[in-house]
Structure 1
Amino acid sequence: MKIQILGPGCPKCKQLEEAAEVAAQEFGADYQIEKVSDINEIMSFGVMMTPAIAVDGEVKSVGKVLSKDEIIAFLK
């Protein structure tokens, strides 16, 4: 499972990355977290607001920091 955090590295992006790490560990998935900070690559996902999260290339949330439980729901 590939979890991508889309954002320039702002505090909210880092919060989302930390929550995703905890969620993936609790979920027990074999995962890889990738930070995507290149604006052109972020826009290629159709994302105009950050932070955003994508799971296996599919954008799940844009413009907000999700809780660990919200992220686990996307991993199921």
Structure 2
Amino acid sequence: MNYTDLKPAKMNIQVLGTGCAKCKSLEKAVIKSVSDLALQADVSKVEDIVEIMQFGVMNTPALVINGKVVLSGRLPKDKELKELLTQ
């Protein structure tokens, strides 16, 4: 098998937040970082409080990558966000 022919899997990224300024800032930062890193990703914003609670998140904004909560309750610095996206 030639591994160079494999395409990276598309990431599913969700920004959880009810619409506050920090939530909107995280969404913009995620979209910018995905673009800067040329990642294949679907980025969506989850504002429904019931759906947010299903992730067990108590503080927003929160970041979910491929179904796993990786950040909650704060805005990450640019470098930290890019590290989270490339792990």
Instruction: Tell me if TM exceeds 0.5.
Output: yes
Give distance in 1, aligned partners of 2:28 and 2:58.
22
**1:28, CA displacement in angstroms?**
1.2
State the TM-score, normalized to the length of structure 1. 0.93
The gaps in structure 1 that reach 5 residues or longer are none
Q: How many residues align?
A: 76
**1:67, CA displacement in angstroms?**
2.4
**1:72, CA displacement in angstroms?**
1.0
Q: For residue 36 of structure 2, what is the aligned residue in structure 1?
A: 26
What SS is found at the alignment partner of 2:26?
A: helix
State the TM-score, normalized to the length of structure 2. 0.82
Taking only the aligned residue pairs, the percentage that are identical comes to: 42
**1:66, CA displacement in angstroms?**
1.4
1:62 paired to 2:69: no
**1:9, CA displacement in angstroms?**
0.7
Q: For residue 5 of structure 2, what is the aligned residue in structure 1?
A: none
1:14 paired to 2:24: yes
Give distance in 2, aligned partners of 1:22 and 1:68.
10
Q: For residue 52 of structure 1, what is the aligned residue in structure 2?
A: 62
Give distance in 2, aligned partners of 1:67 and 1:31.
20
Q: Contact conserved, 1:5 with 1:54, CA < 8 A, in 2?
A: yes
What SS is found at the alignment partner of 2:56?
A: coil
Runs of 4+ in 1 over 6 A off after TM superposition: none
What SS is found at the alignment partner of 1:53?
A: strand
